[in-house]
Structure 1
Amino acid sequence: MTATALRAYCLGLNGTSEEVPFPRNPGLTVFKVGGKIFAFCALEERPLTISLKCDPDDAIRLRETHPAIVPGWHLNKRHWNTVTVGGVPARMARELIEDSYDLVVAGLPKAQRLRLDRP
């Protein structure tokens, strides 16, 4: 998956936005839903990595079975993983992005979830 494809996939999820909120790190892009971050990515860096929210039990299992998945860099290691995008199949990368998105949406108020078609 290329940086362009990754960006398109993240922005293709309902209600998402893209920001570059850190003046000291202008290369770090965040993808949000409902004002909450579900992905961090430095789109210009190689290898391409993305940090994603993850269920704590799944996070451990994924790290044990995929060398390209490590604890979230500069994030809560219990809830975030950093994925080297080229180290996992593109389908798996898309599933991990969507899982992160779904976890964040689940924590939004009901009215926001309904606007996103995610009761």
Structure 2
Amino acid sequence: MDPDTVLTLAHDQAIQYPSVEIEHPFGPEYDVFKVRGKMFMMHFDLRGVPSMNLKIDPPDGEVLRDAYEEITPGYHMNKKHWITVAGAGTAEGEGPEGATGNILDADLLHDLVFESYCLVVAKLPKKDRPVDPRTFGGRDAT
């Protein structure tokens, strides 16, 4: 998936979630997506490539970084809790040496944006949460 498509899909998904606002605290070239004042996604240009940072559960982040060449440690963020997604995947076997050949797809991107939102919501005080992160989006509360 090309980087512009990645950002468009992520943007279109994120703005549908309750209490999401887009701010520009770092300048007009950085779209910062927040829920109740807490960032869960940021769009930016990294060395000429449209990219985004997403909050991630640390064990998931490690697996994703190993499996997808488009996913790297969070640029200018805590590398344990954030990932950078840049798109522009290649067909299996065509990536750089050591790459697994997995390609970021729309379903995975949807899951990554959703999880980032829910991780941030879960850290908010219960009275400030716009949704229950355990059940939002059809999640099973168990």
Work out whether the TM-score is over 0.5. yes
Provide the TM-score with structure 2 as the length reference.
0.73
Tell me the CA shift for residue 22 of structure 1. Answer: 1.3
8 Å Cα contact 1:3/1:48 also seen in 2? yes
Distance in 1 between the 2:83 and 2:7 partners?
A: 18
Q: Please give the TM-score of this superposition, normalised by the length of structure 1.
A: 0.86
Q: 1:94 aligns with which of 101, 110, 117?
A: 110
CA distance in 2 between partners of 1:46 and 1:3 (Å): 14
Give % identity: 38
Q: Which moved more, 1:50-59 or 1:4-13?
A: 4-13
Q: State the AA in 2 paired with 1:91.
A: D
Q: Which residue of 2 aligns with 1:6?
A: 10
Shift of 1:118: 1.1
Q: Secondary structure at the match of 2:49?
A: coil
Partner of 2:57: 55
**Distance in 1, Cα, partners of 2:85 & 2:6:** 13
The 1:2–1:93 alpha-carbon spacing in structure 2 relative to 1, beyond 3 Å, is closer
Q: How does 1:1-119 map to 2 (within 5 A)?
A: 1=5, 3-23=7-27, 26-42=28-44, 47-87=49-89, 88-113=104-129, 116-118=130-132
Q: Hey, which of these two has a bigger chunk of helix by percent?
A: 1
Q: Please, what is the CA RMSD of the aligned residues?
A: 1.8
Name which one, 1 or 2, has greater alpha-carbon Rg.
2
Q: Describe the SS at the equivalent of 1:102.
A: helix
**Alignment length, in residue pairs?**
114
Structure 1 runs of 4+ aligned residues shifted over 4 Å read none
Q: Aligned equivalents of 1:110 and 1:78: distance in 2?
A: 25
Residues 59 and 79 in structure 1, CA contact (< 8 A), matched pair in contact too: yes
For structure 2, the residue ranges without an aligned partner over 5 or more in a row are 90-103, 134-142
Which stretch of the first structure deviates more once superposed, 30-39 or 48-57? 48-57
